[in-house]
Amino acid sequence: RKEVEQDPGPFNVPEGATVAFNCTYSNSASQSFFWYRQDCRKEPKLLMSVYSSGNEDGRFTAQLNRASQYISLLIRDSKLSDSATYLCVVNMFSTGNQFYFGTGTSLTVIP
Amino acid sequence: DAGVTQSPTHLIKTRGQQVTLRCSPISGHKSVSWYQQVLGQGPQFIFQYYEKEERGRGNFPDRFSARQFPNYSSELNVNALLLGDSALYLCASSLQGPQGGYTFGSGTRLTVV
């Protein structure tokens, strides 16, 4: 089983739609959680950290469910510029730090 | 302020050769990590360094090694290159140490022929 699993999509949604991505992780000892955005042939950019209490940044809301070992990202009022690949990242500390990326979920927002 | 800078941006090597990739973190960032990304996949964690010490290692063979210098810059070395090592190699730095989110450089694209 992969450490982090994501539905690769693609998700094709109209402008203004609300879309949600989920990501599951296998190790309950995981400590830090993040969502990154990656545009085609570019480096990943940090979108937001994810906390158990949930956190919001404008149109973006991230949630962490430790009991079920999943994190989610909700995008409201989708814009064309939101089209990208969204990567979830889990940091687990065991014998050292281990950072695991999901394979990414592709989003295309259609006019 | 400059972001994370990596050099070279592109590189072509022959099987069996050795390669060194370089990374300069954002000024003040003491944590650097390295990732390998092949097309269609998420980045795979290779190493993490904090305060010049290795703090994490991914599931890569011993042909891969790295170090961090007193100025917090870092090098990734790969020996005995294989065709399968062709990928985008990403370096990222963090101000907050191992628990923080990372800022990525634009990567070095390595092609092994």
What's the pLDDT tens digit per position in B65-84? Answer: 999 999 999 999 999 999 99
Q: Which of A4, A32, A100 sits opposite B99 (nearest CB)?
A: A32
When scoring B37, B51, B108 by the number of chain A Cβ atoms within 10 A, the one with the most, hence best to mutate, is B37
Residues 6+ apart with CB under 8 A from A33: A25, A49, A50, A51, A64, A71, A88, A89, A90, A91
**pLDDT-based confidence at residue B102 (cuts at 50, 70, 90):** confident
**Tokens 């092609």 map to which residue?**
B111
Both tokens of B36, joined, read 């390998």
Spatial distance between the Cα atoms of A19 and A78, rounded to a whole number of angstroms:
8
Residues 6+ apart with CB under 8 A from B71: none
When scoring A33, A43, A105 by the number of chain B Cβ atoms within 10 A, the one with the most, hence best to mutate, is A43
Q: What is the DSSP letter of B7?
A: E
Both tokens of A75, joined, read 């995008």
Per-residue pLDDT for chain A (111 aa), expressed as one digit of tens each?
Answer: 688 999 888 999 999 999 999 999 998 888 889 999 999 989 999 999 998 888 999 999 999 999 999 999 999 999 999 999 999 999 887 667 778 999 999 999 999
Q: What is the pLDDT of residue A85?
A: 96
Spatial distance between the Cα atoms of B20 and A76, rounded to a whole number of angstroms:
43
Q: Which of B58, B99, B101 sits opposite A98 (nearest CB)?
A: B58
Q: Does A83 touch chain B (CB under 8 A)?
A: no
